[in-house]
């Protein structure tokens, strides 16, 4: 099968590596607007060739949109328009059998953008829960998705064969499938992914503002600090549109989070060791879930 | 040399492992008030034997206080009192050559507690910047300290030979030495260690309170979330006294942190993408420091 990957960054690039070496993709086309990244992706051999967007959509059996969600919201209707056009001009079978999926971190804006599109069935909304704090084709790595969960949203809106194609792609990546509607996805993602990026960014800002002597940060930072602040290296191009598209959920979670930090603050300020202990022991319940 | 370790948890136990296998300790004595942990420490073979506190102090050339800082503040003067007593009764040389060090995460309360003690010179205040979110003798591991920094506080208050003994112990653990006064240590530790524990605890509480369905957290949590929330597994016995003893510094950092989270919140609420981008890019400067 020919797989077209739009956006050859960490996620798109890592998919390309595993889809090829595990035999899912017989041919890999890539689209990459950043010339340096495009050259790197070809040089590293992530894809067979980097081609223009229309050519990629035209030649691929499945198109993966692996760009920031702001760009994906614009591209997705264009892809479905091209599918309609190919059907009309007979470039493909009478009912287009091509599939397009995205891998973005928010889903509601995407599914809304094409809700009434005549080719809606050819789109599968997905979110593979994997990543690192690095970006670009250099960050791509084999095995990134192994054992993680991928979420398929509003699957009933997609044609069954399109869903099967996408499931088979994720099977190749060794991912567990989870089915959810797009709006639930966005609420859960705010809690277990988006918020932790904000807490890391804010932690980095706090430390950078106060510790003018960077050598001290470097010397004193224990593994715990590095782990907590790791996500603060994450890329603005990716995260600005996520916070923007998942604004209401993110704000609600942030308000709860600020309240929790204040509960700690006040218990410490009041020298109330019993309350500090009880907050910590409550938080320790996370052990049951995160290993 | 006989090394006595008071508190056979993660730090004390991990020190025991490396001090023995790298030949620093010819004999290892341990003190452990929790019977289950004491039995485990002997069974695992962390120490040659678990003995009462007084016996450990009496028989060891160097005593390492590896207990929560609240307990260490009480024990430290007792150890120095025992040193005085041994000197008087001639159990040791005319000027006691024994050394006591602690490995606690806050330093000011400890150095204050013994500032005027006649045996103050035999005490070296230290903080090895290493750890994991696990605790107890089972959590002890070889190599925990390799390559990390250890801080030696107010070294001018300690006898030069006591400092040399402690430096040599940390050399055995492959740690870099950093010298600092106790009050600077506590300010820096609030920024690069204590605060990140509170942000993790608060994150865990936020998610646990809202995500009643724990399966969702488990399924959706990406590596980023796990990394950010990891410290929320940390033990209350250790952290309650740290926050309490470093109260003023921790409160100051927490207030700055809350302000930073609010800047994010307000930029997102105002749909001000330029400000969100600028906050993220500012936070990205942490890349220069944390690899």
Domain residue ranges in chain A: 2-181, 186-288
**Nearest-CA distance from B87 to chain A in Å?**
37
Predicted pLDDT at B203 = 92
Question: Cβ contact (<8 Å) for B286 and A207?
Answer: yes
ipTM value of the model?
0.88
Q: How many CB pairs under 8 A join A and B?
A: 321
Question: Cβ contact (<8 Å) for B221 and A129?
Answer: yes
**Nearest-CA distance from B156 to chain A in Å?**
21
Task: Count CB atoms within 10 A of the CB of residue B162.
Answer: 22
Tokens of B144: 């925990």
Please tell me which residue of chain A has the smallest CA distance to B256: A206
Query: Alpha-carbon distance A110 to A254, whole Å?
Result: 23
Predicted pLDDT at B95 = 53
Question: Cβ contact (<8 Å) for B197 and A289?
Answer: no
Contacts of B131 in chain A (CB under 8 A): 222-224
Interface test with A, best of B153, B192, B287 (most A CBs within 10 A): B192
Question: Cβ contact (<8 Å) for A268 and B260?
Answer: no
- Domain B2-181, CATH: 3.40.50.720
* Pick from B209, B223, B236: CB nearest A256: B209
Mark A183-212 as b/e (b = at least 16 C-beta within 10 Å): eebbbbbbbbbbbbbbbbbbbbbbbbebbe
- Residue segments in chain B with a per-residue pLDDT below the cut of 70: 92-96, 211, 213-214, 218, 222, 291
Q: Over its length of 291 residues, how does chain A's per-residue pLDDT go in tens digits?
A: 999 999 999 999 999 999 999 999 999 999 999 999 999 999 999 999 999 999 999 999 999 999 999 999 999 999 999 999 888 887 765 455 899 999 999 999 999 999 999 999 999 999 999 988 888 999 999 999 999 999 999 999 999 999 999 999 999 999 999 999 999 999 989 988 899 999 999 999 999 887 676 677 767 776 788 888 889 999 999 999 999 999 999 999 999 999 999 999 999 999 999 999 999 999 999 988 876
Q: Does the domain spanning A186-288 belong to CATH 1.10.3660.10?
A: yes
Please tell me which residue of chain A has the smallest CA distance to B223: A130
φ, ψ of residue B119 in degrees (nearest 5): -100, 15
Contacts of A200 in chain B (CB under 8 A): 228, 283
Predicted pLDDT at B96 = 60
């Amino acid at each position: 099968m020919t797989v077209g990957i739009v956006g050859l960054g960490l996620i798109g690039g890592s998919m390309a590596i595993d889809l090829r070496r595990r035999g899912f993709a017989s041919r890999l086309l890539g689209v990459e607007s950043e010339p340096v990244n495009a050259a790197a992706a070809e040089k590293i051999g992530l894809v067979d060739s980097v081609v223009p967007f229309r050519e990629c959509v035209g030649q691929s059996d499945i198109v993966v949109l692996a760009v920031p969600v702001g760009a994906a919201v614009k591209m997705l209707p264009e892809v479905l328009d091209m599918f309609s056009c190919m059907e009309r001009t007979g470039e493909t079978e009478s009912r287009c059998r091509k599939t397009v999926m995205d891998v973005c971190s928010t889903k509601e804006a995407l599914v809304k953008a094409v809700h009434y599109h005549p080719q809606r069935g050819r789109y599968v909304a997905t979110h593979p829960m994997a990543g690192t704090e690095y970006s670009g084709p250099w960050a791509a790595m084999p095995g990134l998705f192994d054992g993680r969960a991928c979420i398929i949203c509003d699957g009933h809106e997609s044609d069954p064969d399109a869903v099967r194609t996408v499931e088979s792609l994720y099977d190749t990546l060794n991912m567990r499938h989870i089915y959810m509607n797009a709006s639930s996805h966005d609420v859960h993602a705010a809690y277990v992914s988006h918020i932790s990026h904000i807490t890391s960014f804010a932690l980095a800002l706090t430390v950078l503002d106060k510790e003018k002597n960077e050598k001290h940060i470097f010397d004193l930072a224990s593994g715990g600090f590095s782990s907590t602040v790791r996500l603060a290296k994450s890329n603005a191009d990716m995260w600005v549109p996520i916070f923007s598209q998942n604004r209401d959920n993110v704000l609600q979670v942030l308000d709860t989070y600020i309240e929790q930090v204040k509960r700690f603050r006040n218990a410490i300020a009041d020298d109330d060791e019993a309350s500090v202990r009880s907050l910590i022991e409550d938080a320790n319940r996370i052990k049951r879930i995160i290993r």
